[in-house]
Amino acid sequence: MNVLLINGSPNPRGCTYTALSIVAEELNAQGIETKIVQVGQKNLRGCIGCRRCKQTGKCVFDDEVNQMTPLFEAADGLVIGSPVYFGSPNGGMMAFLDRLFYSTLFDKRMKVGASVVSARRGGNSASFDVLNKYFMISEMPVVSSRYWNMVHGYTPEDVMKDEEGVATMRVLGRNMAFLIKSIQFGKNEMGLPDVVPPVHTHFIRS
């Protein structure tokens, strides 16, 4: 069992990384393998809505998104981490996630998901809500902790002083491990829920 943790920050060893590392440490302690990858320093462009991916299962822009696809497909859980920029997840991370979730056609049901956000002072909860939406449209159970998964800091040292934030990350890691194991158990016993055929309506009446 393994979890992929994606760091959307351009700082390879910054606050978001620090928070993700604590989650990874707890997952490892519970016997779950982890891989932290950093995409935030890359030149990530946004989705152009060409929908080629609906035929190919990959993005027309052959970059980190397509490189991450097999890792995401093989993972039992995904953690997405972002610093807060002007009250939202950072732009590169949003560009990356839009294309990752739109272009990948594999079954994501019952892979668990969690978001982690880091701000110096404000905007964490709004950013957290934005990130969780990727899971909730993908039939991915969202893992909770004892507080919303946020830390506060301008430097990794600040984050480590945010004792409640650090504890929130630890609880998140433990809960995620438990849920992954429980879902694996459930899948072995019952299989996945039956697929309901997709219905795509828009709001134009004929």
Ligand X SMILES: Cc1cc2nc3c(=O)[nH]c(=O)nc-3n(C[C@H](O)[C@H](O)[C@H](O)COP(=O)(O)O)c2cc1C
Pairing of strands 77-85, 150-152: unpaired
Q: Which residue from 4, 6, 15, 171 is in contact with ligand X, where contact means CB under 6 A?
A: 15
Among 4, 6, 16, 94, binds ligand X (CB under 6 A): 16
Segment contacting ligand X by CB under 6 A, of 49-57, 80-88, 172-180, 184-192: 80-88
Determine if 70 is a binding residue for ligand X (CB under 6 A). no
Q: Which amino acid is at 193?
A: P
Residue nearest to ligand X (CB): 14
Nearest to 97 by CA among 120, 81, 112, 109: 81
Question: What is the closest distance, in whole angstroms, from the C-beta atom of residue 30 to ligand X in the complex?
Answer: 25
Q: Which of residues 85-104 bind ligand X (CB under 6 A)?
A: 85-87
Interacting residue with ligand X among 49, 55, 62, 121 (CB under 6 A)? 121
Q: Write out the two tokens for 136.
A: 């909730």
Of 15-23, 28-36, 72-80, 136-144: span binding ligand X (CB under 6 A): 15-23
Ramachandran assignment for 23, one of left (phi > 0), alpha (psi -120 to 50 degrees), beta (any other): alpha
Backbone phi, psi, residue 123, to 5°: 105, 0
Least distance from C-beta 6 to ligand X, angstroms? Answer: 12
**H, E, C per residue of 173-195:** HHHHHHHHHHHHHHHHHHCCCCC
Residue 159's identity, in one-letter code, is V
Q: Binding to ligand X by residue 123, rule CB under 6 A?
A: yes
